[in-house]
Amino acid sequence: MKIHRASPLEPDQATMVDMANLVTQQVATFLTTLDSRPTHDRTVPEVEEKLAESFLSGPPENGTPFASLMDQLGTAAESAIESAGPRLMAALPGGGLYSSALAEFFTRALNRYGTLAAAAPALTALEEGVLRWMAQDVCGLPPGSSGILTTGGSMANLSAVVTARHDRLGEDIGRGTIYVSEQAHYSVAKAARIAGIRQQNVRMIPVAENLKMDLGLAAERIRADRSAGLRPFLLVATAGTTDTGAIDPLTDAGALADREDLWFHVDAAYGGFFRLTARGRERTAGIERADSVTLDPHKALFLPFGTGALVVREPARLHAAHEGSAPALQDVGTSDALPDYAQRGIELSRENRGVRVWLPLHLHGLSAFRDALDEKLDLAGHIHSKLSAVPRLDVPWHPELTAVAFAVRPRHPGATARRDADAATRQLLDRINSDGRAMVHSTTIAGRQLIRICVLAHRTHREHVDEVLDVITAGTAEL
């Protein structure tokens, strides 16, 4: 007779359902009350510190009831910037789709091996379908293009730099040089360093007044470097800078890369999925010339944190830069039709990342995403026009995406007035964030303090934006 040994590691069916019910109840309550929650709460830092400290201790010898642990997790999650909520307008908020979280629960519970096609062919096909959609439909790369789902944009940029380096330089990398605008995300320079490219060989190309890369200067620098015996190999354009959403001239950047025989990478972590809208498609025209593109579904596709993508014109080049083999893998067959993602990226063991993108896209349909992104573009336009109407504020750039930067105007020309204006801008920032309801951040561009509002979460609507605009108007009047 078979003896069943009950293991606490394997709950029975009724317990599983009970546990999941508890979690979904808690989550549903949390998500349906987001609108009334503060975005950040600075009232009692000592209590928060104590709480954080309590979570530093190690696990107990014997187990703890599930409900009590979920209580603890709830308390921990409350002690945070409300990054799922509608009033976070700092950084690049995405909100986090419930449907994607459920997809993730499913994938994790079934624990399919997501990195070798033969281990789960249909799920690999599903992930590959998501990637081909991103490469071909979203970015307009040719048939055959695909890529890899990563954990974020930084990892995608890293694999892009490594692929470009491998493809264009081989192993002789010491004289390799990269060209990127000074408004590009810092992850590009970081990727270069990790990829063994000298920091001094990462050329930060100045931007024009509109914060787009000055391609004339880039071309001069490439030629000068080549004459000096260096090996220019990569041009990185940004489709939506993190600060202001500026989109580099992609068509001309692609042509320059072509002429100079450089790998052309577009960092579209912010702007890429705006191509689902007519305006986004028009503003990012030229992206289809890229050799590789970084996308971030956890930004403009509203997914929970942890999903990025690198799509490439020729997957064989991605493969060549990332392939590897081991005797321990010799029994797992390869598939001709489907990729082994271990050969396209840095990781070996990983979850199937396609499901958490696939489920929301199929459940809600593309139109739901297009409408939400169009709404955010409209909101940014609304913010720009409202702030431009306040005489004391300077709103220098019309938003191409959904970030609007602005500052208090200096009262007159000169360095002192400018310092005063910077101080007033910081004061206004504190005023906006003071009651904890909403949160915006500042940035520094060309030495100048600016406040930056970014609407990107799917939960942010007109009423949330108007609330912040009212605070800004009132705060400016008090300066």
Ligand X SMILES: *Cc1c(COP(=O)(O)O)cnc(C)c1O
Contact residues for ligand X, defined by CB under 6 A: 92, 152-154, 157, 185, 187, 238, 242, 267, 269-270, 296, 308
CA–CA dist 83, 224 (Å, integer): 45
Distance CA 228, CA 383 (A): 47
Which residue of the chain is nearest ligand X when measured via CB?
153
Q: Would you say 148 and 132 are in contact if contact means Cβ atoms under 8 Å apart?
A: no
In whole angstroms, how close is the CB of 33 to ligand X at the nearest point? 27
Give phi and psi for 141, each to the nearest 5: -75, 160
CB of 125 to ligand X, least distance (A): 25
Compare residues 161 and 408 and give the one whose CB is closer to ligand X: 161
The nearest distance, CB 270 to ligand X, in angstroms, is 4
Q: How far is the CB of 132 from ligand X (least distance, A)?
A: 21
Among residues 167 and 267, whose Cβ is nearest to ligand X? 267
3-state SS, residue 357: helix
Residue 343 to residues 144, 173, 446, Cα–Cα distance (Å): 16, 22, 41
Q: Is 307 helix (H, G, I), strand (E, B) or coil?
A: coil
d(CA 122, CA 217): 48
What H or E segment, with its residue span, contains residue 12?
Answer: none
- Strand, helix or coil for residue 255: helix
Inter-helix orientation angle 355-364/366-388, to 10°: 80
Check if the beta carbon of residue 290 is closer than 8 Å to that of residue 139. yes
CA distance 472 to 326: 59
CB 234 to ligand X: min, Å: 15
C-alpha to C-alpha distances, 463 to 18, 213, 243, nearest whole angstrom: 38, 35, 23
Residue nearer to ligand X on the CB measure, 351 or 422: 351
Strands 441-445, 393-394: pairing is: unpaired
Least CB distance to ligand X at residue 240 (A): 6
CB closer to ligand X out of 267 and 351: 267
Residue 245 or 354: which CB sits closer to ligand X? 245
Q: How far is the CB of 152 from ligand X (least distance, A)?
A: 3
Provide, rounded to whole angstroms, the least separation between the CB of residue 300 and ligand X.
10
Q: In the complex with ligand X, which residue's Cβ is closer, 95 or 410? A: 95
267 vs 340 by CB, closer to ligand X: 267
Indicate the residue among 237 and 408 with the shorter CB distance to ligand X: 237
Where does residue 325 rank: exposed (0-12), middle (13-18), buried (19+ CB within 10 A)?
exposed
Residue 413, both tokens: 């020309």
